[in-house]
Amino acid sequence: MLTNNLIELNSNENSLGMSDAAKQAVINSLDIGFRYPDDQRAALITKVAEINGVTESQISLGSGSSENIRTVVQMLQNQALVAGKKFQVIVPHPTFAYAELYATSIDVPVVKVPLTTENYAFDLQSMQKVADDFDGISLFYLCNPNNPTSTITDTVKLKEWVGHAPSNHYFLLDEAYSEYVTDPSFESGVAWIREEYSENIVVVRTFSKLCALAGMRVGYAVASPQMIARLEAFISIDNTNLAGAVAALATLDDEDFLALSLRTANQSGQLVEQTLDELGLRYLPSQASFIFHEIKGDVQTYIDRMREHGIAVGREFAPITGFNRLTLGRPDEMAVFVEVLKSFREKGWV
Ligand SMILES: Cc1ncc(COP(=O)(O)O)c(C=O)c1O
């Protein structure tokens, strides 16, 4: 989004900005902007496959991971139609909304299973029951770490569930924020795809977060070669454009930038957590580039007041009330946020 000096902490963008290497790569690519991006897409697929320890036939690029999410929903709906079966999408609630939105737009029923009340975790048993009670194909959309809570799902339980699921249960594991996870127990679903017991798993990843390329629209799916072939039938041909592909490649090669990106998110997280501790506002321990924290008083009033002070904070995520999702921007941005939050406390607003 364009800014008027507004500090934007509402959309989980990476306000560090694109790496210099990515910017230069885009500039350099302009001379060949009249060509189709076959070579650059192929190079990106090779690189992404290498990073994930899978073959190139196990990668499908997306125009952002949003496109990969849409493709999974659409492909399974088509599979169900062809087989004369029913299809449903099961999502935790709240979570990132795109799987639900894409499903709803093509009349696929969506079942929302509330997070547990004690620690806002996925209610795996209840979600599984929804699928067990359904005569048809079910797709679980599981965002790990979850947006908006920024917490991860217990790896052992998740792996056990996915590994023993019947063939009509599919898992879309959205790992948009996995690079930020510090909890050593976290394991990516890509590891399970490598172990080959995984015909029913798709992992989606994005360049929009750690790599700071949200506007370049690059994401990808990792799955078995068979699953990728089925997904590719539903994805836009040549979807990742030249600028996006070269920017992604340059960023992956820029280890200093990736380290800086992670380090600044950590610094910002520490600053915010320390302040929330001081103010006695509860929060979930962040495993992502945002934090879900308590606000005393009406959250919408808080959002409006923050905007009046030049800061766009996130929103409330029903059905959880009294909490706000805050993107971890640059440390200098968070220093401003912290000052404003403290001044709100002095006024008795939070
Ligand atoms: C969990 C999650 N998945 C996917 C996306 C979309 O990412 P992309 O820019 O790759 O489409 C977001 C964006 O905020 C997100 O939070």
Q: What is the 3-state secondary structure (H, E, C) of 129-178?
A: HHHHCCCEEEEEEEECCCCCCCCCCCHHHHHHHHHCCCCCEEEEEECCCH
Q: How confident is the model at residue 4 (pLDDT cuts 50, 70, 90)?
A: low
Q: Are residues 102 and 144 in the same domain?
A: yes
Same domain, 180 and 240: yes
Taking residues 297-314, report their average pLDDT: 97
Q: How far is the CA of 65 from the centre of ligand 1 (A)?
A: 6
64-122 per-position pLDDT tens digit: 999 999 999 999 999 999 999 999 999 999 999 999 999 999 999 999 999 999 899 99
- Could you tell me the distance, in angstroms and rounded to a whole number, from the CA of residue 347 to the centre of ligand 1? 36
pLDDT higher than threshold 90 for residue 263: yes
Domain-ending residue, one of 232, 253, 274 = 253
The pick from 147, 152, 204, 328 for probing ligand 1's pocket by mutation, whose C-beta has the most ligand atoms within 8 angstroms, reads 147
Domain that holds residue 88: 22-253
C-alpha to C-alpha distance for 221 and 206, rounded to whole angstroms: 9
Q: Which of 13, 96, 218 to mutate to test the pocket of ligand 1 (most atoms within 8 A of CB)?
A: 96
Confirm whether 236 is domain-assigned. Answer: yes
Asked, for residue 1, whether it belongs to a domain, the answer is: no
Whether residue 335 is predicted with pLDDT greater than 70 in this model: the reply is yes
- Find the residues whose C-beta lies inside 6 A of ligand 1: 12, 64-66, 96, 143, 147, 174, 176, 206, 208, 214, 219
pLDDT tens for 186-211 read 999 999 999 876 789 999 999 999 99
Place of tokens 């404003």: 340
Residue of 213, 228, 202 whose CA lies nearest to 21: 213
In a domain, 114, yes or no: yes
- Give a yes or no: residue 233 inside a domain: yes
Under 8 Å CB-to-CB from 271, ≥6 apart: which residues?
A: 331, 334, 335, 338
Longest Cα–Cα distance of the chain, Å, equals 62
Q: Tell me how many domains the chain contains.
A: 2
**Shared domain check, 88 and 235:** yes
Find the 106 Cα to ligand 1 centroid distance in Å.
20
CA of 12, closest atom in ligand 1: 14
Q: How far is the CA of 66 from the centre of ligand 1 (A)?
A: 6
Task: Answer yes or no: is 334 within a domain.
Answer: yes
Both 238 and 269 in one domain: the answer is no
Give the residue whose CA is nearest to atom 3 of ligand 1: 176
Nearest CA to ligand 1 atom 8: 64
271 and 142 together in one domain: no
pLDDT at 73: 98
**What is the CB-side half-sphere exposure of residue 206 using CA atoms within 13 A?**
27
Paired with 327 in beta bridges are: 290
Task: Say how far apart CA 325 and CA 11 lie, in whole Å.
Answer: 9
Here the CATH number for the domain that contains residue 48 is: 3.40.640.10
User: In residues, how long is the chain?
Assistant: 350
Which residue has 């056990």 as its token pair? 160
Q: Which of 14, 66, 287 to mutate to test the pocket of ligand 1 (most atoms within 8 A of CB)?
A: 66
Whether 147 and 222 map to the same domain: the answer is yes
Neighbour-count burial of 148, counting CB atoms closer than 10 A to its CB (0-12 exposed, 13-18 middle, 19+ buried): buried
